[in-house]
């Protein structure tokens, strides 16, 4: 139950990064609408015009930031300059997302003071894991009165697509791949309860949603304790034909969701190869499971995978793809790859090109390694591949991927995966 504003104020959310931020922005928008704010319509031919317009016309602009690459954080610092240089800016600008997550909680990449120094023109901050604190920020900015409150249980979300919705099954990550900011920016891996997930699905199904994407940084390990994760992973490494691999709670959850008759399509992001057991491979046979699966490989060279602190080898990845194609011939497979990781030689990079040739990915998000402050790689490894070489590897791999990409026409909406960094 929420007490509402007397006069409607306008809000605008600008989201950078992946689906996790998109889902959070929908909850932020839902809260603001519950409080009586209405959404300002997007205007502008490009991102700069869009933000300038929101600065001039909204009462509150929420920037949901991404930290995955330096470029993503630089965009937020650029917004600070836009606020400063725009005399007509009237919106209160509040920052959330991974940049705020990176300076709060137990796992910090840099200090709150440093972030605030670099974003002096912003009016408020709240971490993505604590939407309740957004209410405090709204009060401090005099955008709502002191007696407005909300009940987290009844938290609504904005629905942008009448048929499709992203639903989080877990938050955060404990894997600490050496290049990645997520374990810091999103905190410890926490699985939502089955009850909570099923209630959210029920609610969305009642509104007509029939196509679901289940999200988490590591969906496959949903519902597993640390000890269970360890068992799953060591079984995966020892038993290459994977017959003895463990049952996964996530596979069972998908089977249950598959039985909901109103649902006609299911997919999930993000999957890591080291938790993708045969139990989950078998789920891919189910007819409502999408014909696309995204599994990050990151590199085709085992030495580099080890330096990345990934828990799989190139051979295990290829074996996984073979098993997937055996149960679901024709399934599209997508991946993420980093080129120019510290210490990566040309020869090691060529192993990734060979892997691309072998696996034939339908989608490949290829990125050049960018050192992220506070990560293991930034602290301990030298970013020694020259930019020119990184660019060459990026170009070469993109060409190889295109050359080897399956020629079949896809009926899957890959735009669901494209991030807006």
Interface residue list for ligand SF4 (CB under 6 A): 173, 175-177, 180, 182-183, 217-218, 272
Provide the sign of the torsion angle of the four alpha carbons 307, 322, 416, 216, taken in this order: negative
| Nearest approach, Cβ of residue 45 and ligand SF4 (Å) | 34
Cis omega before residue 375 (within 30°)? no
Nearer to ligand SF4, 177 or 321 (CB): 177
The H helix count followed by the E strand count for the chain is 16, 13
Neighbouring C-beta atoms of residue 300, cutoff 10 Å = 25
| Nearest approach, Cβ of residue 206 and ligand SF4 (Å) | 32
Torsion of CA 307, 128, 416, 71, to 10 degrees: -60
- Cβ-defined contacts of 388-394 (< 8 Å, 24+): 389/340, 389/346, 390/339, 390/340, 393/339, 393/340, 393/349, 393/368, 394/339, 394/340, 394/366, 394/367, 394/368
The Cα 173–Cα 175 span in angstroms is 6
Nearer to ligand SF4, 182 or 364 (CB): 182
| Nearest approach, Cβ of residue 238 and ligand SF4 (Å) | 21
Nearer to ligand SF4, 203 or 418 (CB): 418
Nearer to ligand SF4, 272 or 277 (CB): 272
> At 215, which helix (H) or strand (E)?
strand 211-215
Q: In this structure, what token pair is assigned to residue 3?
A: 């007490």
The Cα 333–Cα 202 span in angstroms is 29
Residue whose C-alpha is closest to residue 191's, from 237, 165, 236, 229 = 229
| Nearest approach, Cβ of residue 217 and ligand SF4 (Å) | 4
| Nearest approach, Cβ of residue 179 and ligand SF4 (Å) | 7
Nearer to ligand SF4, 144 or 180 (CB): 180
| Nearest approach, Cβ of residue 182 and ligand SF4 (Å) | 4
Nearer to ligand SF4, 190 or 203 (CB): 190
Residue 133 burial by CB count (10 A; 0-12/13-18/19+): exposed, middle or buried?
middle
Q: Are 171 and 162 in contact (CB under 8 A)?
A: no
Nearer to ligand SF4, 201 or 364 (CB): 364
| 92-97 and 124-125 strand pairing | parallel
Nearer to ligand SF4, 30 or 374 (CB): 374
Helix (H, G, I), strand (E, B) or coil at 263: coil
Nearer to ligand SF4, 91 or 182 (CB): 182
Exposure string over 308-343, b if 16+ CB within 10 A, otherwise e:
bebbbbbebbbbbbebbbeebeebbbbbbbbbbbbe
| Nearest approach, Cβ of residue 269 and ligand SF4 (Å) | 11
| Nearest approach, Cβ of residue 175 and ligand SF4 (Å) | 4
| Nearest approach, Cβ of residue 180 and ligand SF4 (Å) | 3
């Amino acid at each position: 139950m929420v007490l509402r504003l007397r006069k409607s104020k306008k809000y605008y959310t600008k989201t950078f990064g992946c689906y996790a931020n998109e889902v959070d922005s929908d909850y932020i928008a839902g809260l603001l609408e519950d409080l009586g704010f209405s959404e300002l319509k997007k205007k502008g031919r490009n991102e700069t015009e869009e933000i300038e317009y929101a600065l001039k016309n909204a009462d509150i602009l929420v920037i949901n930031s991404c930290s995955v690459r330096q470029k993503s954080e630089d965009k937020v610092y650029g917004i600070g300059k836009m606020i400063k240089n725009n005399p007509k800016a009237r919106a209160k600008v509040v920052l959330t997302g991974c940049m705020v997550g990176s300076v709060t909680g137990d796992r910090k990449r840099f200090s709150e003071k440093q972030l605030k120094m670099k974003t002096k023109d912003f009016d408020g901050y709240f971490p993505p894991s604590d939407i309740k604190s957004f209410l405090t920020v709204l009060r401090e900015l005099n955008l709502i009165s002191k007696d407005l409150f909300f009940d987290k249980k009844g938290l609504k979300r904005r629905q942008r697509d009448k048929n499709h919705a992203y639903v989080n099954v877990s938050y955060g990550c404990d894997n600490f791949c050496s290049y990645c900011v997520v374990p810091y920016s999103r905190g410890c891996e926490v699985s939502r309860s089955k009850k909570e997930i099923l209630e959210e699905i029920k609610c969305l199904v009642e509104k007509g949603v029939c196509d679901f994407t289940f999200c988490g940084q590591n969906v496959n390990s949903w519902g597993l304790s640390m000890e269970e994760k360890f068992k799953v992973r060591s079984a995966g490494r020892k038993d290459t034909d994977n017959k003895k691999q463990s049952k996964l709670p996530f596979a069972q959850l998908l089977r249950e969701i598959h039985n909901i008759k109103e649902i006609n399509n299911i997919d999930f992001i993000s999957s890591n190869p080291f938790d993708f057991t045969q139990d989950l491979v078998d789920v891919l046979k189910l007819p409502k499971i999408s014909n696309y699966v995204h599994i990050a490989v990151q590199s085709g060279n085992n030495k580099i995978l080890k330096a990345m602190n990934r828990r799989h080898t190139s051979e295990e990845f290829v074996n996984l793809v073979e098993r997937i194609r055996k149960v679901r011939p024709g399934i599209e497979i997508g991946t993420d790859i980093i080129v120019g990781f510290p210490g990566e030689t040309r020869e090691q990079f060529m192993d990734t090109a060979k892997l691309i040739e072998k696996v034939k990915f339908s989608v490949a998000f290829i990125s050049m390694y960018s050192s992220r402050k506070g990560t293991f790689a930034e602290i301990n490894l030298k970013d020694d591949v020259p930019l020119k070489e990184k660019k060459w590897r990026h170009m070469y791999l993109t060409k190889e991927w295109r050359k080897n990409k399956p020629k079949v026409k896809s009926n899957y909406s890959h735009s669901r995966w494209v991030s807006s960094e």
